[in-house]
Amino acid sequence: MKKAGKQIALGALLLLLFCAVCRVSFFQSHRIYFRTSVQEGATLDSYRVVSTQPGIVDVGTPEIVSEAVRVPVFARRQGETDLTLLDRDGNVLSFLPVRVSRFLTLYDAATGGFTGDSVFMVASTLFWLMTGGVMLRHFRNAKGAAFYQHMTIYFAGFSLFSLVTGLCLLEVTIRHLSDPVNYPMYSVYSALSGASTQFMLLTSPLFILFSLTMAVSNIVLLRRERPRLRNVFALGISLLLILGVVGGLLLIFRDFSGSEWENRIRSVFENAYSTVFVYWECMLAGSVISGITAARRRPAPDKDFIVILGCWFRKDGSLPPLLRGRVDRALDFWREQKEQTGKEALFIPSGGQGPDESMPEAEAMRRYLLSRDVPEELIVPETASKNTFENMAFSKKIIRRLKPESKVVFSTTSYHVFRSGIWASKAGLFAEGIGSKTKWWFWPNAFMRETVSLLQSRWKQEILLLILLLGYFTLLTFLLN
């Protein structure tokens, strides 16, 4: 994350420097557009522009464009003035207030434009596209045990937000540059401050489709499994997500009339709602992408140890499909590695004995491995752990004792690979994961529980980041609306 942050900060600094150089070197004037009915047969001498405060700006020759009169204005000294458009008879057609800063940058209060605003638009677009590109590249380049980090979720989820925001700004920038009369700078400001709202609108159909798919799979799960609270978890999440989308759309599209400050407060509330929703949307998307990617990865066949994560088994010691799938996946990897390289890895079935279990989970897995013709000397059970973190931590002690410098892979169910990898990293065990397949109707509900568990384990950091994002977009709304 630090490396990505430095790259994004460096890119932002270079873009700011680019804006400053272009502003000083190439942009000495600013074109102002007076929206007025262009008189039939009007020529260049049909209009003139005067300043109420002489000496602050110099006004060039008016130009007639499609729906407006365009005037180049040159800043001369700091101050404020009004520019008045007159016809050849001296009648006032329109006026615009302008302000010149100490750096001789001219600001047009009517449209939000300023000297060199086109460079600012291009730089803003490039910043968001660059940010998304940096995050996406770090996600794709994360290899081996380095992939199992919370930052992977951020890279996967917020790269989508950054890229979509950059593409939206690109569209607004192109429209402004090609038609500045109908798409003034305030349209760019609106796109910047309402980036979260725009993202929510664009992704709402996909999000509703995802929620409905998850709800259908949960209904199938309830028909095939016994009705337990954990088996209706995803159904409740689906309902909340759909209600969140519908509530956001009603808030955005409802009719509103009020004063400027009332409209600004409404915009702040709208963007705050969108920011909260989009934050969790990106985190969910990042978790799903990271989880699927982790489950599909294939570690290199060069491992010294295969850790098998335990779970519930039957009272007679036989393995249910979920646990048997984990052990079979470990066996498949062990056989493939032996065939390709001749290297035999040691098995570490990991899991202690629960209050309702007749033996440690590791012992049940050990017996199954023996029944599948695995030599007993290749099995080193870990029988004390009670959760995934202890699976990793206690297995690490065994590995350090037997072979400190070694390569490790762990086997678990597909939806559990990514979170298990994070626990392995926290335990100091640098390992890659492999996942066993499970029924399609079981996967969404279980994976959603995994996602919530990932976020819950860092709830303080998540809330802090959310507060920072809320502050950022709230400030933009106040400043740019």
Q: In the predicted model, what is the mean pLDDT of residues 107-111? A: 87
What φ, ψ does residue 121 adopt, rounded to 5°? -65, -45
CA atoms within 13 A on the CB side of 334: 25
Residue 28: its pLDDT value, please? 84
Mean pLDDT of the chain: 86
Does residue 438 carry a pLDDT above 60?
A: yes
Q: In the predicted model, what is the mean pLDDT of residues 192-202? A: 84
Share of the chain above pLDDT 90, in %: 41
CB 49 within 8 A of CB 84: yes
Q: Residue type at 395? A: S
- pLDDT band for 411, please (50, 70, 90 cuts): very high
Residue 208: its pLDDT value, please? 87
- pLDDT band for 434, please (50, 70, 90 cuts): very high
DSSP letter at 230?
Answer: G
Share of the chain above pLDDT 70, in %: 93
**67 compared with 39, residue with greater pLDDT:** 67
d(CA 420, CA 328): 18
Secondary element (H or E) of residue 433: strand 431-436
Residue 385: its pLDDT value, please? 95
Least confident of 12-26, 308-322, 335-349, 443-457: 443-457
Q: Structure tokens of 210? A: 């995802």
Domain annotation for the chain: domains and CATH numbers: 28-111 (2.60.40), 118-295+460-480 (no CATH), 305-406 (3.40.50.620)
Please, which residues bridge with residue 38 across strands?
Answer: none
What's the distance, CA 19 to chain centroid? 27
CB 324 within 8 A of CB 364: no
- pLDDT band for 284, please (50, 70, 90 cuts): confident
Residue 43: its pLDDT value, please? 65
User: What do you get for the CA distance between the two ends of the chain, in Å?
Assistant: 32
Does residue 479 carry a pLDDT above 60?
A: no
- Residue 444: closest CA among 406, 415, 478, 473: 415
- pLDDT band for 345, please (50, 70, 90 cuts): very high
Listed in sequence order, the DSSP H helices in 297-346 are 321-341
List CB contacts of 70: < 8 A, sequence separation 6 or more: 31, 32, 33, 34, 62, 63, 64
The per-residue pLDDT for range 92-102, each reduced to its tens digit, is 888 889 999 98
Q: Structure tokens of 200? A: 């929510």
DSSP string, 40-52: TT--GGGEEEEES
DSSP E strands in 90-191: the ranges are 92-100, 106-108
d(CA 64, CA 62): 7
The per-residue pLDDT for range 375-389, each reduced to its tens digit, is 999 999 999 999 999
**43 compared with 104, residue with greater pLDDT:** 104
List CB contacts of 231: < 8 A, sequence separation 6 or more: 218, 221, 222, 225, 445
d(CA 361, CA 350): 7
The per-residue pLDDT for range 114-172, each reduced to its tens digit, is 998 889 899 999 999 999 999 999 999 988 888 998 889 989 999 999 999 999 899 98
d(CA 191, CA 211): 27
CB 198 within 8 A of CB 191: yes
Contacts 24+ apart (CB under 8 A), 208-216: 208/241, 208/242, 208/245, 210/241, 211/237, 211/238, 211/239, 211/241, 211/242, 211/245, 212/238, 212/242, 213/444, 214/238, 214/444, 214/445, 214/448, 215/239
Residue 476: its pLDDT value, please? 67
